[in-house]
Amino acid sequence: MSTDATGLFTTFDINGVTLGNRLAVAPMTRVSASDEGTATETMARYYERFARGGFGLLITEGIYTDRAFSQGYLHQPGITDEAQEQAWRPVVEAAHRHGAHIFAQLMHAGAISQGNRFRETSIGPSAVQPKGEQMEFYYGKGAYPAPEAMNEEQIADAIEGFAASAARAVAAGFDGIEIHGANGYLIDQFLTDYANRRRDRWGGDTRQRTTFVTAIVEAVRAKAGPGVPVGVRISQGKVNDYAHKWPGREQDAEVIFGTLAEAGISYLHVTEHRAWEPAFKGGPDSLVALARRYAPQVPLIANGGVQDRARAQEVLAAGADIVALGKAALANPDFPNRIQAAQELAGFDHAILGPIANIKPTELAA
Ligand SMILES: Cc1cc2nc3c(=O)[nH]c(=O)nc-3n(C[C@H](O)[C@H](O)[C@H](O)COP(=O)(O)O)c2cc1C
């Protein structure tokens, strides 16, 4: 744990990968891949700016994992065939050129898929219509249709998709794998009581609902090999249910974080709207503090609402090892260099993400 003024700029080791500092770029979907889901030169230039700007770790946007039901958005990148795998190489090389490490975030959209060139319909743990509305800045509109409940074969295929994609990510040169277990996507649907009504081994109480994510961790670990960090991202809130809180509160945190620690993950990535605030009404502890308590030996990345140096240090002091920045990184792709030089930071302008959230030429001009 680092509380000193220079803590942000100390190295940190995750499963043998030594990050240059404690500042990471949070995963952000920017729907800028080709029609075929290959990463583009624009994307390589976009990621390169964060590396040049001093971030020790870049976590990619959510990458889809199979050619069936995983894709969530039109122009989302995938890593499911040779062409998609190769297209990531320039992105990885751009990060490495400036001394940053880069982890691939693997994502299956499940019931909240709103654009998939391989399928017209969606699948989820149970046939429960998702809350919320599709995101227009990702080419969606209106309610989400109800998904089909996954059968055993579809569950096995989804797990295999994560494993095969992890192998491709390692082959493309990525330094680590982040399994997207947060924000309302398929893995989070399995974790969530109201989205997972299954009575088989994939559903039940909180512990039982972790079966899917731990099966994915195991499969990914087997394919990625022992030297590659394999982490999991976890949240309470969802893109389609922003204010969701775990009904079992701290007990759910204990089960979820404890089970992931037992499963042997290399790091945990927790995200909340404001990382430093109490996770539950009336309780004192942030999700960062709870992750530290219930997964004490596991390296911890924390994300949510951090906009400046003081807040980043506060989150480290609360127990995180790494702080990930989303909007503040979009506004300041050179955030680490700026705070080290005591330069002023720019505020985030939402216009960057409109009307579509794709990478804008103005971002690359800087
Ligand atoms: C444009 C945009 C795209 C995002 N895409 C992803 C994603 O692909 N995967 C993910 O885990 N989180 C995604 N997020 C969530 C961010 O990683 C982060 O949790 C959120 O922005 C809150 O952190 P911040 O306050 O530092 O921005 C996205 C956020 C934004 C603003």
- Does the Cβ of 326 fall within 6 Å of ligand 1? yes
What is residue 366's predicted lDDT score, i.e. its pLDDT?
59
For the stretch 126-161, pLDDT in tens is: 999 999 999 999 999 999 999 999 999 999 999 999
- Does the Cβ of 238 fall within 6 Å of ligand 1? no
- Does the Cβ of 76 fall within 6 Å of ligand 1? no
- CATH number listed for the domain at residues 7-365: 3.20.20.70
Would you call 64 a catalytic residue per the annotation?
A: no
Domain ranges of the chain: 7-365
The CA R_g of the chain, rounded to the nearest whole Å, is 19
What is residue 4's predicted lDDT score, i.e. its pLDDT?
45
Question: What's the whole-number average pLDDT of the chain?
Answer: 97
Confidence tier at 365 by pLDDT (50, 70, 90): confident
Tell me how far apart the alpha carbons of residues 177 and 174 are, in angstroms, rounded to a whole number.
Answer: 8
Give the DSSP per-residue string, 38-72.
---HHHHHHHHHHHHTT-SEEEEEEEE--SSS---
18-46 per-residue burial string, b: 16 or more CB within 10 A, e: under 16:
ebbbbbbbbbbbbbbbeeebbbbebbbeb
Of all residues in the chain, what percent carry a pLDDT higher than 70?
98
User: How many helices, marked H, and strands, marked E, lie in the chain?
Assistant: 12, 12
Confidence tier at 6 by pLDDT (50, 70, 90): low
Counting from 1 in the atom list of ligand 1, the atom nearest the Cα of 61 is: 8
Averaged pLDDT, 221-242: 97
> Ligand 1 centroid vs 249 CA: distance in angstroms?
23
Counting from 1 in the atom list of ligand 1, the atom nearest the Cα of 233 is: 11
Query: Which residue in this structure is represented by tokens 């909007």?
Result: 327
β-bridge pairing 230-235 and 17-19:
unpaired
Residue owning the nearest CA to atom 1 of ligand 1:
28
Averaged pLDDT, 335-350: 97
Averaged pLDDT, 252-257: 98
- Does the Cβ of 170 fall within 6 Å of ligand 1? no
> Ligand 1 centroid vs 199 CA: distance in angstroms?
32
What count of residues does the chain have? 366
pLDDT at residue 3 greater than cutoff 90: no
Q: Who's near 302: CB < 8 A, 6+ residues apart?
A: 269, 270, 271, 275, 287, 288, 291, 315, 318, 319, 320, 322, 323, 324
pLDDT at residue 2 greater than cutoff 90: no
Averaged pLDDT, 51-74: 98
Query: Which residue in this structure is represented by tokens 């065939």?
Result: 81
What is residue 1's predicted lDDT score, i.e. its pLDDT?
39
- Quote the Cα angle for 228-188-260, to 5°: 45
> Ligand 1 centroid vs 69 CA: distance in angstroms?
22
Averaged pLDDT, 258-281: 98
Averaged pLDDT, 165-171: 98
- Does the Cβ of 28 fall within 6 Å of ligand 1? yes
- Does the Cβ of 319 fall within 6 Å of ligand 1? no
> Ligand 1 centroid vs 333 CA: distance in angstroms?
15
For the stretch 295-325, pLDDT in tens is: 999 999 999 999 999 999 999 999 999 999 9
Residue owning the nearest CA to atom 26 of ligand 1:
326
Query: Which residue in this structure is represented by tokens 């030594």?
Result: 18
pLDDT at residue 5 greater than cutoff 60: no
Averaged pLDDT, 115-120: 98
- Does the Cβ of 58 fall within 6 Å of ligand 1? no
> Ligand 1 centroid vs 9 CA: distance in angstroms?
23
